[in-house]
Structures are given as C-alpha cells and as structure tokens.
Structure 1
Amino acid sequence: MNIGTAAEKSGLPPKTIRYYEDIGLLSPGRADNGYRDYSTADVHRLRFLQRSRGLGFSVEECRQLLSLYGDTQRESSEVKAIAESKLTEIDRKIAELLELKATLGHLVDACHGDHRPECPILDGLAGHHH
C-alpha cells in the first residue's frame, strides 16, 4: 500500500512515517515504480509506535520495545524494566509539575492584579524577592 493508505490505517501523518523510516524504525519495500510499498506488518509496527509514543516512550525506547516485540526469545522482564523506568520518569515529572504549580500559585496569589505597577509575578520571574 502507498504512504497515504498506511498513514490512514496507522493514524500517523506521512511526515512521521517518513521520519520513522529515516531513523530505521521501519523499512518498507519498494514497488516497481520505486515508491514505498507498505505491508500490513508495517502498519502494525506504525500502530505499535503510535501507541508507544502516546504513552511517553522516547524514540529510542520505542526502538527497544519494537526489537523486543519482534523477538520470540524475549523475556518479559526486559519489557517490564523499560515500562517501570518510564513510570518512574512520569512520577518525577508529576512531582516537578506540582512544584511548579505551587510556586506559580504563590506568585499569582501575591499579585493584586489591579491598576498599580507593582507585580510580584514579574518580580519573582526577575529573581527579586520581597
């Protein structure tokens, strides 16, 4: 199938599909006319990549997961280790975002938001503490 059909079936834009091909995550065959010719297996790989990226896995983690997916001798512990590492990273990001929210919340609460020029938000961004 052509890239348009593969894009439609996988839910990924052609640009992303070409990028995945450029970095070696996908290698479709070529039709007689030289155009890319995507197989059903390629579409499955693309869907796998889309779901993996949607869960926050990096391109390199996706490369590892795809490799394990295709390895019939794999040990699920390898897959679990990658997923656990991602979960730890997500927990760290959540803690970071909660800290950012609290800091920004304090600045917003401290600002009167009126006609006066004094603004604790701008002072805080500038590193001035009152």
Structure 2
Amino acid sequence: MVSDDAPVYVISVAAELAGMHPQTLRQYDRLGIVSPGRARGRGRRYSLRDIANLREVQRLSHDEGINLAGIKRILALEGEVEQLMRQVEYLRAFAEPGRRIFTADPTGDVVAVRRSERRTVRPVRGELPSHRGSLILWRPTPR
C-alpha cells in the first residue's frame, strides 16, 4: 500500500484529482501553499496528502472566501497543531502513571531514565528533583 505522503502523481493527474487546472497547482507551488515533491528531472510529484490539501485550499477559497495568504497561514497552523499533537502523545506515553520516567538532557532531547539509574529524591521545598543536572518530570504522590 502506498503512503499518503508518497509523491507519486504527476501534475496533470493531481490537477484532475483535485478538480483544478495544472496552472493553478503551479501557482500554489510558487506561493508555497502546497509544495509537492520533485522527481529526478525536477518534475512535480503530488501525494494523496497534497491532493487533500489542494481540495481544502479550493474549499477555503470558494466556500469561505479566504484569500491565498490566509489559506497559506491556516495550512501552516494546522501543520503545527498536528506536529504538537504528535509530540504531546509521545510525551504522554512517558508521563502516564506506571510508565517510564524520562528526563531532558543538556541539549533538550527527551531521554528515558533506566530503572538502575533511578533514585528517590526528596525535593527541597520549592525545588524540583534533578538527575545528573537534568530536570526530571514527576508527579507528587498523595501523602
């Protein structure tokens, strides 16, 4: 099965699937609204996700009356929201009760703390516990 992100459709097929003229797709590419992948010869290759975005651009433009600058911003914000939702789900898997403990290393990357490296730390009032100089996310236990 082909991924939704696989750039497989040439511009004429993508235009037909999106219900647009190929020149419109070229314009959207130049404006950075929908940026397809490129083949070796620099020809545009559209994915199913690109085609869905093209349909959304058309809907926002025709049905909602939003200009292309507004549409570009909407699509960018939707992309950011999707990325943040994936990040929240990734972090939530670590932070759920009974799950692994993790820390942030000096570069800011999330690192799981091995059971052998865990230790019980009693935080000083107003301070958070640390692990080798890094912040450990923790939940206080009810007393």
Q: TM-score interval w.r.t. the shorter chain? A: 0.5 to 0.7
- The answer to whether 1:28 aligns with 2:28 is no
1:105-128 per-residue CA deviation (whole Å, 9 max, x = no partner) reads xxxxxxxxxxxxxxxxxxxxxxxx
Match of 2:52 among 35, 39, 44: 44
What residue in structure 2 maps to residue 70 of structure 1?
Answer: 79
* Counterpart residue type for residue 26 of structure 2: R
Percent identity reads: 36
TM (norm. structure 1) is 0.53
Larger helix proportion of the pair: 1
* Counterpart residue type for residue 69 of structure 2: E
How many residue pairs get aligned? The number is 74
Q: CA RMSD in A?
A: 1.5
1:4-63 per-residue CA deviation (whole Å, 9 max, x = no partner) reads 110011111111110001111121111133311111111111111010101200111101
Report the secondary structure of 1:15's partner residue.
helix
Larger strand proportion of the pair: 2
Q: Structure 2: give runs of 5+ residues left out of the alignment.
A: 1-8, 86-143
TM (norm. structure 2) is 0.48
Match of 2:70 among 42, 45, 61: 61
Match of 1:5 among 9, 13, 19: 13
Report the secondary structure of 2:60's partner residue.
helix
The separation in 2 between residues aligned to 1:40 and 1:18, in whole angstroms, is 17
Q: Structure 1: give runs of 5+ residues left out of the alignment.
A: 75-130
1:64-117 per-residue CA deviation (whole Å, 9 max, x = no partner) reads 11112212248xxxxxxxxxxxxxxxxxxxxxxxxxxxxxxxxxxxxxxxxxxx
Report the secondary structure of 2:80's partner residue.
coil
* Counterpart residue type for residue 33 of structure 1: G
* Counterpart residue type for residue 15 of structure 2: A
